[in-house]
């Protein structure tokens, strides 16, 4: 098991759709273990394979339950297909819907998401898997599936918030410094 570098906005792996997992190999099992280690080191609740530079359609998650803090929704899903409720239109109040991303470290923006979502796919053994939830779990399922489709959450922002996000990302200076990855085991997200 190892912590892998996380790709940063602008890295081509984040902006391309991923490829279906056709067979679970030892390399994929190792990838999943590494993704859990990486997510934990970065204090994340979800991590898509393309966030560690692998263009395969799978993600891991470890999301605290909204109502019972002793419960975590944790797992891996391969080839997820997303269903979701209605996304509310208009601006999202700043105090609601704040969303961040390990590929845009240190930034959080109000993002409209459906309050209910379900993904259907398979586990590492090929068994059908259905994960359904509301609140933070629903947000994570939508966020990670977006990654696998080559979309970042900042692309879902309203025009006003999108402008703020672009300014914040530019101020981080990743593009100017040619930073495309960060190592969560040695670097604080704020320092990237």
Residue 11 among known ligand-binding residues: no
Residue 143 among known ligand-binding residues: yes
**Annotated active-site residue in 23, 91, 132, 144:** 144
36-74 exposure pattern, b = at least 16 Cβ within 10 A, e = fewer: bbbbebbebbbbbbbbbbbebbbbbbbbbeeeeeeeebe
23 tagged catalytic = no
Dist. CA 192–CA 5, nearest whole Å: 12
**Which two tokens mark 60?**
């891991």
Angle subtended at Cα 134 by Cα 93 and Cα 37, rounded to the nearest 5 degrees: 95
Residue 73 among known ligand-binding residues: no
Binding-site residues from annotation for Fe cation: 101, 143, 147
Binding-site residues from annotation: 101, 143, 147
Active site residues: 144
């Amino acid at each position: 098991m190892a912590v892998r570098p996380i790709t940063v906005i602008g890295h081509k792996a984040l902006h391309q759709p991923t490829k279906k997992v056709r067979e679970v190999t030892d390399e994929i099992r190792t990838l999943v273990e590494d993704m859990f280690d990486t997510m934990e080191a970065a204090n994340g609740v979800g991590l898509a394979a393309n966030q560690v530079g692998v263009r395969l359609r799978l993600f891991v998650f470890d999301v605290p339950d909204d109502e019972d803090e002793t419960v975590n929704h944790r797992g891996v899903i391969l080839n997820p297909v997303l269903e979701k409720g209605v996304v509310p239109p208009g601006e999202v109040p700043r105090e609601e819907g704040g969303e961040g991303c390990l590929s845009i470290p240190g930034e959080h923006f109000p993002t409209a998401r459906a309050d209910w979502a379900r993904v259907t796919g398979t586990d590492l053994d090929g068994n059908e898997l259905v994960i359904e939830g509301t609140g933070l779990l629903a947000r994570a399922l939508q966020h990670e599936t977006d990654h696998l489709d080559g979309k970042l959450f900042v692309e879902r922002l309203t025009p006003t918030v999108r402008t703020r996000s672009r300014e914040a990302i530019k101020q981080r200076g990743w593009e100017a410094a040619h930073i495309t990855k960060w190592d969560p085991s040695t670097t604080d997200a704020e320092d990237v």
